[in-house]
Chains A and B, each alone.
Chain A
Amino acid sequence: MQLHGWEAVLFYVLAFSTLIMGVLVVSARIAVHSALFLIGTLVNIALLFILLRSEFVAGVQILVYVGGVMVLFLFVIMLVQTRAEEEAKIKLYTGQMWSAVVIALLLAGGFFFAMHPAQPAFRPSIEAAQETQSKQDEATERTQAGAGQAISTDTQDVGQALYKEAALPFEIASVLLLVAMVGAVLLARGTKQESEHN
């Protein structure tokens, strides 16, 4: 999976902005700013998904995450009073910076320990991937020459895989969403509503 040309440039731009925005999510003083930076991060990750030729998951990410979950987050930030944090004298962080640094270093060590033996295994396959890539490019060019525009079959393939091999988990996920919805309503209703219904 060797990116080349404009794809590599796009990847580095997206990766850089994703990381910057991720750090800003964690370090912003005002919660609404955090939420907006998180929206930026999620959009960037969706673009990276498109770079990895998974358009369907990118669309789901934009619709569900940015359109649903983040709106929920912003609602809750507006409901919950976090105005005190905007003043400079309130401390943002718990006294756990040391443990955060130590755990990050441990994770980094574990990652390099895990990835180092795998590096040579990726090398020949990268060449194979380049061959596959060039074949795909040729196929794409042929399709574009023949039919104007190549249309990705990614959504179709994901649908096939989802409903053929993961039908039961799909149904379980729908029940899970229903339960989560009921639970959220029960948790968030006010005392007045509770006294009315009990």
Chain B
Amino acid sequence: MVNFLMLSFLLFVVGIAGVLSRRNIIIIFMSIELILNAVNLNLIAFSRYFQLNPDALKKMGLDPNPLSGQVFTIFIIVVAAAEAAVGLGIVISLFRNRETVEVDEIDLLKW
């Protein structure tokens, strides 16, 4: 369990580092996908944990459905697909208008 959480956390940090450090907006999008997948891994790991230990949270008065992690993961995948479609549409129109995909050259709203 802790191994899965560690892996998920490390993937999350890699994604954060990518978002913060790359200049190419497409690779920033890919790093966002990495972050989402780290979160999915976390959710699935907890879902499995609660499947194996149904009474893990009983003593705290909680009664989670062990499958809610998987359902939530499916919703995350749906929203990620929608986000990718809209985001890449924005990237294409941006490239048409500004001839660049580098985020530090897109400073129209900068003070």
Contacts and interface: CB of A to CB of B under 8 A. Distances in A.
B79 A173 contact: yes
Contacts of B47: 52, 54
A183 B89 contact: yes
Chain B's interface: helix, strand, loop or mixed, by majority? helix
Contacts of B4: 1, 11, 48, 52
Contacts of B22: 26, 92-94
B77 A122 contact: no
Contacts of B16: 100, 103-104, 107
B52 A132 contact: yes
A133 B20 CA distance: 41
Contacts of B85: 72, 180-181, 183-184
Interface of B: 1-5, 7, 9-18, 20-24, 26-27, 29-31, 33-34, 37, 40-41, 44-45, 47-49, 51-53, 56, 65, 67-68, 70-71, 73-75, 77-86, 88-93, 95-96, 101, 103-104
28 contacts: A11-B4, A18-B11, A26-B17, A48-B44, A49-B40, A57-B73, A68-B81, A72-B84, A75-B88, A80-B92, A81-B95, A82-B26, A82-B101, A94-B22, A94-B23, A96-B21, A101-B17, A122-B1, A132-B52, A133-B52, A158-B74, A161-B67, A161-B70, A165-B68, A184-B89, A187-B89, A188-B89, A188-B92
